[in-house]
Amino acid sequence: MTDFQLINRGRGATLLLTALLLAACAEVSPTLTPTAALSGPTLEPSPTFIPNAPVDAPAALIYEGQNNPTAAALAPGAAMPPLVVSQSAFGGAGQTVEITAEDGTLLFGDLYVNTTVLAPGVLLLAEERSAWGDFPALLHTNGLTVLVMQVRPAAALADFRVMLQALINGVADPARIGVVGAGRGADVALLGCSADLLCDAAALLSPSNDPALLEAVPRFNPRPLFLTASQEDTEAFSAIQAIQARATGEVLFQPFERAGSGAALLQNRPDLGSLIAAWLQMKLV
């Protein structure tokens, strides 16, 4: 076989191989390579969902109370201002209010608000709201905002914190707060104020001789104290003497004879109410 024949045979083999490869490519589909696609956000708004709202409820009612400026300005977890329920059963300018305690219990009280200015606030604590007689109205006429609450023994100090916070949230001037306690309320007033610097002054009517009160006095110092009891109430009288001895701030010590105990001092000695009102004005206004 000549060289020319060998070359031709080699060319024929190459052409045959090329043809076979082309045929194979025609039978197999090429693999598609995915490419990234750009997309923009949709302009269609999300559906509005209002839980537990009736279908035909007016919008104004659905959202009522959710945009209260005072509530919106409070820090998370802060106590809400006292919620007015009705006119106070004791008459005058007072309104019955409710405050939610830390354990969820509704606490009822009476609120006397000075609406002309952000007035100093006074918290009155006793075992019964009615025990104060017309003393809250007297403080109110002297330019003070007054919150009257009763003591719950099982949660006295926790309730005290909530009451104090409720008083200052949009109701009274937080820089000028006084607390007046009678009987068991006097104990709570001193113990609560010793742990809370919101209290600027405290008046105690017939406190007990609980040793915890004497331990609380150094924490309350040097803020001013008003102390009063009747001498025949030996436990309370010895208590105010011991408290006075430990106080480093200004103390007004007012003893009485045959004047009763606790808030009854105000009924048996009408001049006491005016004296406390004048003292509070001096310390808070």
166 close to 80: Cβ distance less than 8 angstroms:
yes
The pLDDT value given to residue 121: 97
CA distance 139 to 110: 13
- Prediction pTM value: 0.71
The pLDDT value given to residue 46: 55
CA distance 113 to 94: 8
Length, in residues, of the chain: 285
Tell me the domain boundaries of the chain.
90-284
CA distance 199 to 121: 10
For 102-144, the pLDDT digits (tens) are 999 999 999 999 887 899 999 999 999 999 999 999 999 999 9
CA distance 153 to 188: 9
The pLDDT value given to residue 107: 95
Mean pLDDT by 10 residues, the chain (285 residues): 49 53 50 52 53 44 40 48 55 84 94 89 96 96 96 93 91 96 98 97 98 98 98 98 98 97 96 98 93
User: Does CATH number 2.60.40.10 belong to domain 90-284?
Assistant: no
CA distance 146 to 140: 6
Helices 211-220 and 234-246 pack at an angle, to 10 degrees, of 30
The pLDDT value given to residue 33: 54
192 close to 164: Cβ distance less than 8 angstroms:
yes
The pLDDT value given to residue 65: 41
Cis peptide upstream of residue 222 (ω within 30 degrees of 0): yes
